[in-house]
Amino acid sequence: MKIRIILAASLKTFTDRTPEVALEADTVSGALQALTDEYPEAARGLFDENGDLRGFVNIYVNDRDIRTLKGIGTPLHDGDEIFLIPAIAGGACESVISTERMKAVTIEEKEIRRYSNHLQLKEISIKGQKRIMASRVLVAGIGALGGVVAERLAAAGVGTIGLADAQEVTLEGLQTQTIHSTRDLERPRAAAAKDRLKKLNPLVTTVAHQEQLTGDNVEEIIADYDIVVDATDNFVSRYLISDACVLNGKPEVFGAMYQYEGVVTVLGTKDGPCLRCLYPSPPPAGIVPTCAASGVVNTLPGIIGAMIATEVLKLITGGGEPLIGKVLAMDSWNLRYHTLHTGKDSGCPVCGRSPVIRAVQDIDYDDFCGLREDPDEEPIDLIEPEELARRISDGDRITIVDVREPHERAVHRFPGTLIIPIGQLARRQKELDPEIDTIFVCMEGKRSILAIRTLREAGYTGPMYSLKGGFETAAQIIFPNEGAWL
């Protein structure tokens, strides 16, 4: 059977950037085998050390999750398409805003004029707009995606918008984080966004939560809101928020981006899945780069953010067909949309029939996401940027391996390095000299650690070091005059 495998951008690092692979196979299992035969590095991204499919990868045949079919044994037919969608992370429903709360809201003349576009829509009209004005929505992560969501919701007239973020506005963020301006540099993102929303719509109440969501505070923070939007950029926050929403009965609108692709779904409703249903486990630390490390086309947050905001309005008004049990996957660069059907996992430890997770405080999310060091694992040696700069200046005999993506190297060059993508390290280890130090460089210092562990598993025994903080931290020290920058 002739079929096509379509890969999400974050998996293309294992297939030499190939987005689609045409091959012949009778089953999903056979297709995966054919894919890994052609691209051996893809096996690391798709399967764990026991040969089992990794929990952070979802597979769809056309638009159906193989878990609702026959798993990897699902038969294929000519022309079928297989979608490999990793964590980056239907039907009408009732409004999350009660009739009593809706009736308690009055619309004044100035509000009639401001919200006239909604009032003219029969799907929203006066009752829907009053529900919007009565609603309380928390946006977690006020970067590129969360900023767009917050602006759309403020303009729509959402009564109270919470802004949860512990980071500051940075220069490199301004290209995609349009809620912030140059004047906001080094200000807390939550505070800067609050000021922006006040200017956009002074009728809306905004609350800035300038703190990192943790197991100790997340339930207290989300308690005051009807809906939670997850626009964060790390797996610890994503699983924490999803678990907290399920345990506290809060619907969650989830959105994620990578380069030019994005996904949107609704999680945590009574009949729909949670994040653990979709992705029982996160990817190993460092295997999926963040948007900060991999880039994102600056138009994408506007598209995905608007979709997220629309899902929020559906939940508030009780109209339309929310993405409950559905994942909308979009490739903005090639203008492709796919609505992929998924479902609740009866064995889910949080929302299944016999849940075993009953409090977020019971979970070590750093450990769950592979960020806590295993005491039994051989430690990774780090090298300080200053030490590397000295060794380069002294002409020491060392090998520097750059494991960054091509687009990262295009912006920040590192002359004199050996360029080897992580997926090729095992088969190219003979290019390294085990008699001298090998130093690995990535953008943030996480993938370089993964690179060292990959080579250890492949049997390489030479001395290896990870550049502490990655190129992002070390560039001004190693290249003080920015001579290696674009």
**Cβ atoms 104, 323 nearer than 8 A:** no
With bands split at pLDDT 50, 70 and 90, how would you rate the model's confidence at 93? low
Task: Quick: pLDDT tens for 118-172.
Answer: 999 989 999 999 999 999 999 999 999 999 999 999 999 999 999 999 999 988 8
- Look at residue 425 and tell me whether its pLDDT is greater than 50: yes
Mean pLDDT score, 328-338: 90
Q: Rounded to 10 degrees, what is the CA torsion of 177, 181, 183, 186?
A: 0
Distance CA 131, CA 158 (A): 8
Structure-token match 């990959």, residue found: 454
- C-beta neighbour count of 434 within 10 angstroms: 12
| pTM for this predicted structure | 0.70
Q: Which domains does the chain have, with CATH numbers?
A: 2-86 (3.10.20.30), 135-368 (3.40.50.720), 382-478 (3.40.250.10)
Q: Which of 125-129, 215-219, 334-338 has the lowest mean pLDDT?
A: 334-338
Q: Residue 327's closest CA among 315, 311, 316?
A: 311
Query: What percent of the chain has a predicted confidence (pLDDT) above 70?
Result: 89
pLDDT at 317: 95
Q: Residue 40's closest CA among 401, 454, 424, 447?
A: 424
Q: Which residues are catalytic?
A: 291, 442
Collect all residues with Cβ–Cβ distance below 8 Å to 50 and sequence separation of at least 6: none
**SS3 state at 207:** strand
- Look at residue 287 and tell me whether its pLDDT is greater than 60: no
Q: Which of 22-36, 232-246, 285-299, 389-403 has the lowest mean pLDDT?
A: 285-299
pLDDT at 484: 44
Structure-token match 């004044």, residue found: 108
- Look at residue 376 and tell me whether its pLDDT is greater than 70: no
Q: Residue 440's closest CA among 467, 419, 479?
A: 467
With bands split at pLDDT 50, 70 and 90, how would you rate the model's confidence at 483? very low
Task: Quick: pLDDT tens for 33-89.
Answer: 888 888 887 777 787 777 777 777 788 888 788 887 888 889 998 889 888 877 653
pLDDT at 478: 74
Distance CA 435, CA 40 (A): 28
pLDDT at 294: 58
**Torsion-angle region of residue 464: left (phi > 0), alpha (psi -120 to 50) or beta?**
beta
Query: What percent of the chain has a predicted confidence (pLDDT) above 90?
Result: 50
Distance CA 214, CA 431 (A): 43
Task: Quick: pLDDT tens for 237-285.
Answer: 999 999 999 999 999 999 999 888 999 999 999 889 999 998 887 776 5
Distance CA 142, CA 194 (A): 10
Task: Quick: pLDDT tens for 193-215.
Answer: 999 999 999 999 999 999 999 99
Mean pLDDT score, 434-449: 89
Q: Residue 433's closest CA among 458, 461, 453?
A: 461
